[in-house]
Homo-oligomer: A and B are copies of this chain.
Amino acid sequence: MNTPGSGTPRLAADTGERGLIARIRHRLPPAPPELVVGPGDDAAVVRPDRGALQILTTDALVEGVHFDLRFSSPADVGHKALAVNLSDIAAMGGVPRFALLSLMLPASCTLDAVDQLLDGLFALAGRSRVTVAGGNIARSPGPLVVDMAVTGAAKVRKVLTRSGGRAGDRLYVSGRIGAAKAGLEWLRSRTSAEALQLTADAGLDECVAHHRRPEPRSRLGALLGRARAASACMDLSDGLADAVRQMAEASGTGAKIESAGLPIHPAAAAWFREHDADPVDRALEGGDDYELLFAVPARFKGRFRAVTRLVHGLSLTHIGELTSERSIRLVRDGVDVELPGGFVHF
């Protein structure tokens, strides 16, 4: 499609929607038998897991709102578009199954950029055993939009909602928080040429990677659901403070968090401190940390211990409790204060 001397091929000039769909179909891995009709017909047809409930979620990445192509490569965007949806499936205790990809492409978007985006997306889909079953391609007169819908499966009574928590349940969070926020702040503090280079600091590099390519906690979510090791679960897409507040509200409880125990990424904490910001406040308001917050009742202790042994390498930190008193508290240096707020989209 790239003719000599024509420069970088652009979509509008060099290929049609059909050509692009054919290009994507050629790159799809062999379909599993559950995909009865794959891309290329009016719709996809799949065989749902027998006896299971189905989880449905959708999440979009919009250029200029959720990503900046000076700071993230097309492959990063492709990865993240799927990752944020997988995070939702994990938060429900499910196993991801099928994905639909809805691309809205500006005329300035190159074929090469689309290929890279698909590289990032298919690499994560392959690792996560998610089948891209179909999708849609449209022109965008504005930003690049990567919108996805993903299905997952979970057994009846194994689904994890936000509302199942009870007073006394211990709250845990996976991984480390604040990293994605620090990574994005670092990128914004650079010129775009510098931003695409690695920093000298391995810790900050890790933060940048958390922003660009969050790792959905698919294995943890599926294990917590399958083992019924948690009473409630949700992801941290809008920050830990917001997640705690929403889980408590949905469960009809309050919550108390210990600031000393929060698993703040050390390089993020250092970055916040260097910029005269309080690491606890910043990590709590966070956003873009695709970790899981979950509640473990005392009677699930054995099951939970079994899960912790199966997620080697991923830290699960006890950060507080759900409480019968309906307020959301943060205990800081022995003083009990109101928890600061979460991320507001508009």
Contacts and interface: CB of A to CB of B under 8 A. Distances in A.
Interface residues of A, number: 70
A149 B45 contact: no
A54 B17 CA distance: 26
Contact of A57 (B43, B151, B161, B234): B43
A55 B342 CA distance: 37
A16 interface: yes
A133 interface: yes
B62 A54 contact: no
Nearest to A346: B16
A142 interface: yes
Contacts of A137: 345
Contact of A142 (B15, B40, B143, B233): B143
A100 interface: yes
Interface stretch (A88-96, A264-272, A312-320): A88-96
Contacts of A142: 64, 140-143
Nearest to A19: B346
B346 A62 contact: no
Given A65-B139, A102-B60, A345-B139, A55 B44 contact: yes
Interface string A102-138: 1010000000000000000000000000000111111
Contacts of A149: 56, 58, 100, 102, 149
Which of A98, A138, A139 gathers most chain B CB within 10 Å?
A138
Q: List the 6 shortest-distance A-B pairs measured between CB atoms, nearest first.
A: A142-B142, A149-B149, A43-B57, A17-B345, A42-B91, A64-B141
